[in-house]
Structure 1
Amino acid sequence: MSPELAFILTLGLRMAITAAFVVTASIITERSGPVIGALIATLPISAGPSYVFLALDHDAAFIAEGALASLPINAATIFLGLTYVVLAQRHGALLSCLAAVAVWLVLAAIIRSVQWSLAGGLVVNAIAFGICVPLLARYRHAKMPPIRRRWYDIPLRASLVATLVATVVTTSGWVGPKISGMIALFPIVFTSMMLILHPRIGGPPTAAVLANSAWGLIGLGIAIAVLHVAALQFGSTVGLTLALATCIGWNLSLWWLGRGKAAE
């Protein structure tokens, strides 16, 4: 088998695995309501596979540096969420989504121009979430109407996430860890939810899922910081494992606390 064919087959397999994972998680999200859906949506269901595949092709230092670049991008994602949530109350899916993505791209361009440290990334996350979480609180509760799946839902989600993985994997060698880390954290799950759910169930219910995602994104930011530190100290495998455990543990804790409050 030629090296070119082996690369194409390997890339196709990676895209298929990731697409299947994201589609499954997003279907569960639709059926679980805005709170549980938000917890599932903020698991690393697109960034995680991207980092796993990067780890197969690059060393631990590359992964650690990529995670350092991803950390401030997590702060940009919460502003994407806030932009969409506010606009979705009165505007359509396309306008709300495009405006949110535009905000993310502008912030990503600013973030790229800065040389970040771990402390700097954590501080910018703390500031971003300190601003956005209180503003999102009023939009967290909305009735989730029944969802009827359309024929293009799964192909759309699969193609979006597969394209993201292909971009990360194929460009990582020449764009370097910083850009790879930024691309890996592009909010593909959020944008696909905006485009698919909003036209079907309306802006406020879709916005409620993203508004509830704020606390989950905090856990994702902590997991990215863990990945950076652990990859440097113990290697990529341990770093990725600890980061995933951090994300899952954080979201399970949020779920448990939510159950406790509902029972009171």
Structure 2
Amino acid sequence: MSLDLHFLLFLLLRMAIAAAFVVTASIITERSGPVIGALIATLPVSAGPSYVFLAIDHDAAFVAQGALASLPVNAATILMCLTYVVLSQRHTLVVSCGSAFAVWIGMASIIRQFDWSLAAGLAANLIAFGICIPLLARYRHAKMPLVTRRWYDVPMRAALVATLVAIVVSTSSWVGPRISGIIALFPVVFSSIMVILHPRIGGPPTAAVLANSAWGLLGFGMAIAVLHVAVVWFGSVAGLCLALATCVAWNLTLWGIGRRALRRARPMP
């Protein structure tokens, strides 16, 4: 088997694995409601496979440097969400999504110009989330109409994630860890939520899903910081596992807090 054919087959296998992962997550999300769906959406559904395959192809130092570049990109993602949530209350999908994507691309272009330290990346997240979470709070509650899944919804999400994995894997060797880390955090899941749900149920209900994702996305940023530190100390496998455990533990904590708040809010019989 030629080297090129071997690479192509291995790349297709990686894309298929990533697609299967996002299909499973998408089905669980659709059956769980907006709050649980938002928590699942902030798990590393798209970035996770990208980083796993980066760890297979590169050493721990490469993964650590990529995570360091990804950390401030997480702040760009919450600013993208805020842009969409505010504009989608009154504007069309094209205006809302187009503006949100422009914000993310603009922020990512600025981020790639600098060498980020862990402290600077964490500070960027704290500032961005400190501003965005209070502003998003008023948009978290909206009447959610029944969503009928179309035949192309899940394949489209799977194709987006598979494409992202293909780009990261095939370009990482020549673009380096910084650009790879930025590409790996392109918000595929949030993008698919906007594109799929907005035309079907309207802007405000779609915005509610993203607004509920803010706290989960903050935990995702913490997981990226854990990944950066852990891969240096314990290696890529342990670092990836600890980062995933951070995401899961954070979202389970959010879910538990929400459940307790709901019980207290219910009137006594």
Q: TM-score range by the shorter chain?
A: over 0.9
Equivalent position of 1:104 in the other structure: 104
Q: Is the 8 A contact 1:68 1:117 kept in 2?
A: yes
* Greater mean alpha carbon deviation, residues 24-33 or residues 120-129: 24-33
User: Amino acid of the residue matched to residue 97 of structure 2?
Assistant: C
Q: Provide the rounded CA distance (Å) in 2 between the counterparts of 1:243 and 1:115.
A: 22
Q: Provide the rounded CA distance (Å) in 2 between the counterparts of 1:181 and 1:226.
A: 15
User: Amino acid of the residue matched to residue 161 of structure 2?
Assistant: V
Please give the secondary structure, in 1, of the residue aligned with 2:32. helix
Equivalent position of 2:222 in the other structure: 222
Please give the secondary structure, in 2, of the residue aligned with 1:139. coil
Q: Is the 8 A contact 2:83 2:100 kept in 1?
A: yes
User: Amino acid of the residue matched to residue 48 of structure 1?
Assistant: G
Q: Provide the rounded CA distance (Å) in 2 between the counterparts of 1:215 and 1:244.
A: 16
1:94 is displaced (CA, Å) by 2.3
Identity, in percent, stands at: 74
Q: Is the 8 A contact 1:59 1:236 kept in 2?
A: yes
Equivalent position of 1:64 in the other structure: 64
Equivalent position of 1:167 in the other structure: 167
Q: Provide the rounded CA distance (Å) in 1 between the counterparts of 2:234 and 2:24.
A: 31
Equivalent position of 1:192 in the other structure: 192
Unaligned stretches of 5+ in structure 2?
A: 265-269
Equivalent position of 1:122 in the other structure: 122
Q: Provide the rounded CA distance (Å) in 1 between the counterparts of 2:245 and 2:260.
A: 22
Q: Provide the rounded CA distance (Å) in 1 between the counterparts of 2:130 and 2:73.
A: 16
Q: Is the 8 A contact 1:94 1:195 kept in 2?
A: no
Q: Provide the rounded CA distance (Å) in 2 between the counterparts of 1:97 and 1:188.
A: 13
Equivalent position of 1:134 in the other structure: 134
- TM-superposition CA deviations, 1:101-135 (whole Å, max 9, x none): 10000001111111110000000100000000000
Q: Provide the rounded CA distance (Å) in 2 between the counterparts of 1:241 and 1:155.
A: 27
Q: Is the 8 A contact 2:26 2:154 kept in 1?
A: no
Q: Provide the rounded CA distance (Å) in 2 between the counterparts of 1:81 and 1:31.
A: 22
Equivalent position of 1:89 in the other structure: 89
Q: Is the 8 A contact 1:84 1:99 kept in 2?
A: yes
With normalisation by structure 2, the TM-score equals 0.96
1:259 is displaced (CA, Å) by 0.2
Please give the secondary structure, in 1, of the residue aligned with 2:138. helix
Q: Is the 8 A contact 1:142 1:208 kept in 2?
A: yes
Q: Provide the rounded CA distance (Å) in 2 between the counterparts of 1:141 and 1:28.
A: 21
* Greater mean alpha carbon deviation, residues 253-262 or residues 88-97: 88-97
- TM-superposition CA deviations, 1:185-224 (whole Å, max 9, x none): 0000000110001111111111001001100011000000
Q: Provide the rounded CA distance (Å) in 1 between the counterparts of 2:224 and 2:9.
A: 29
Equivalent position of 2:20 in the other structure: 20
With normalisation by structure 1, the TM-score equals 0.98
Q: Provide the rounded CA distance (Å) in 2 between the counterparts of 1:232 and 1:186.
A: 24
Q: Provide the rounded CA distance (Å) in 2 between the counterparts of 1:152 and 1:196.
A: 10
1:252 is displaced (CA, Å) by 0.3
Please give the secondary structure, in 2, of the residue aligned with 1:225. helix
* Greater mean alpha carbon deviation, residues 22-31 or residues 58-67: 22-31
Q: CA RMSD in A?
A: 0.8
1:85 is displaced (CA, Å) by 0.4
Equivalent position of 1:249 in the other structure: 249
Q: Is 1:211 the counterpart of 2:211 in the alignment?
A: yes
Alignment length, in residue pairs?
A: 264
Q: Write out the 4+ residue segments of structure 1 that deviate beyond 2 Å after TM superposition.
A: none
Q: Provide the rounded CA distance (Å) in 2 between the counterparts of 1:91 and 1:16.
A: 36
